[in-house]
Structure 1
């Protein structure tokens, strides 16, 4: 960088220094207080108002998901035994909310009552205080039948309803209006909380049109926001992450003012999006369902779900937000049909 020429008017500077010296103007209008933290000297107006943010943080841990296999991350939990072991490591570290998928013997996502029952029954029996959610996406008639069976088992608190139509990675993922409405109704009939899962701003409008303005469900609702993955709201940099996430949050709050929003830290955004959500008073889902990376700018892969749970719970503690208990989470999820 080239050095700029010195253009200071030293004659003018020296004239004023000779008159007044190199002194600041300082008057203490509120003496004897220099800077009161709770009022001004002239009124009870608070000089620095306290921010409004929920003191408690939902910190959900999504164990395995539908996207990543051991090819993408060899530490991914696939079998019921691996899923249970990973979940119990997180529970031992203080996790209160566990979200799972089932995988078949090849490692692919599947809606199988037997696999879900094996995992959820073990966790419910041995960790009754923990809240459990499961993703029940039916892609054929057999899975639709098993989705109905799963909803009636009484093993979980909530189930996502994806109000979406997108190219997710290299996959065509579409929920028709009838499917969106019917799955929501079935969840409500089974006493489950439908978690409105959105990947882009268009998905938010689908939820408004088919679920909220139709009168099927009333707020405050529970939202899962999953940007950052290929085909979802893109987040290419810190600036686009902040801009994109703020738009999603504002759109949701425009149609559901008292909403409970959970940011799912997908793709490269990982811990950075989690930190942004905590700063904004939004809740967070972490874990190996939504990402394989620890950080957006490096290729280090997550070694375990408990590792990322401890990382984000530590950030939350440093920012003054306590992790919500499972019972507090259940109370917050209660919806009116």
Structure 2
């Protein structure tokens, strides 16, 4: 028993009122929506959380490999199988990369068509997107060809200069600008890909303020991977995402924002994004881990999508259809 409390004085109140209770709002103790002291005032209005959520499923990406996660799709057959499973699971958006025989990301027209053409035939409503990152003048024509023929409906514009893991990844301003123009000329939606909060300023300076990028703006935040905005613990995750998100909202508070389940933050980052009313990207491109605090690896992209679909439902949000996603980001809906 604490000797710093004046117990003798407390005993003087033994016969006093133990609780002050004055229910002014009878017959209700608590009216969840209104007060007897005001008329027509909703004191606890519903939050402005979009009831629908866009979930994109990434199949393989360009960075991770089966050395980091033995379940990672590497061959064209593995990539095709995993993408088909994601489509069958109901993912409205499927994000495609292809690898060469050595496992490296390539802009190879034949390989892209081999993966995407059968999927578009069997899943005509699904939105297919992918990172058309041309590394040199030899790959740039391939990127232009993909965009002009409508192989993809959305592609990221990386407004970035980072040490991505052990790799320098930087997009010069002229590259960002030219790719954005080509995308918009071809009817492909540019998705502004953000790795650090400085990338938001890059997009604003080079694409938005000059009037090149057309509304509605569509952003994707990829933090928590080495070289990106660090998220070493839950506090950093919350503070980091909020800072980047607020930077975007200061540019345009009507923009749509997607957040990747990335790095160690993985599923927690995506869950926090869902709580904020944002949209998410899941799958094997951005992380190898299912959970931040465990070493369990993602086993299957379709299962990863279904996990987040279930979590969205538990939060009262429903996965968008492909056409609902198209409307949100300003693409035409598909003719049936």
Gaps of 5+ in 1: none
Following superposition, the deviation at residue 297 of structure 1 comes to: 1.1
1:34 aligns with 2:10: no
Following superposition, the deviation at residue 77 of structure 1 comes to: 1.1
Following superposition, the deviation at residue 40 of structure 1 comes to: 0.7
1:120 aligns with 2:116: yes
2:221 paired residue among 221, 225, 231: 225
Aligned match of 1:8: 5
Q: State TM-score, norm by structure 2.
A: 0.96
Q: Is the 8 A contact 1:219 1:335 kept in 2?
A: no
Aligned match of 1:132: 128
1:84 paired residue among 58, 80, 103: 80
CA distance in 1, matches of 2:42, 2:170: 51
Following superposition, the deviation at residue 6 of structure 1 comes to: 3.2
Aligned match of 2:263: 267
Deviations 1:179-234 (CA, angstroms, capped at 9, x unpaired): 00000000001110000001001111110000000110133301011000111100
Gaps of 5+ in 2: none
Aligned match of 2:91: 95
SS in 1 for 2:192: strand
SS in 1 for 2:226: coil
1:234 aligns with 2:230: yes
CA distance in 2, matches of 1:157, 1:216: 19
Aligned match of 2:157: 161
CA RMSD of aligned residues (A): 1.4
Aligned match of 2:14: 17
1:285 aligns with 2:281: yes
Following superposition, the deviation at residue 312 of structure 1 comes to: 1.2
Aligned match of 2:105: 109
Aligned match of 1:141: 137
1:210 paired residue among 195, 206, 209: 206
CA distance in 2, matches of 1:141, 1:118: 23
Aligned match of 1:255: 251
1:199 aligns with 2:185: no
Aligned match of 2:300: 304
Deviations 1:52-81 (CA, angstroms, capped at 9, x unpaired): 111110110011100011111111112222
SS in 2 for 1:303: coil
Q: State TM-score, norm by structure 1.
A: 0.95
Deviates more, 1:34-43 or 1:185-194: 34-43
SS in 2 for 1:218: coil
Following superposition, the deviation at residue 137 of structure 1 comes to: 0.3
Deviates more, 1:89-98 or 1:174-183: 89-98
CA distance in 1, matches of 2:43, 2:192: 39
Q: Is the 8 A contact 1:221 1:335 kept in 2?
A: no
1:60 aligns with 2:56: yes
Following superposition, the deviation at residue 335 of structure 1 comes to: 6.8
SS in 2 for 1:17: coil
CA distance in 1, matches of 2:213, 2:86: 32
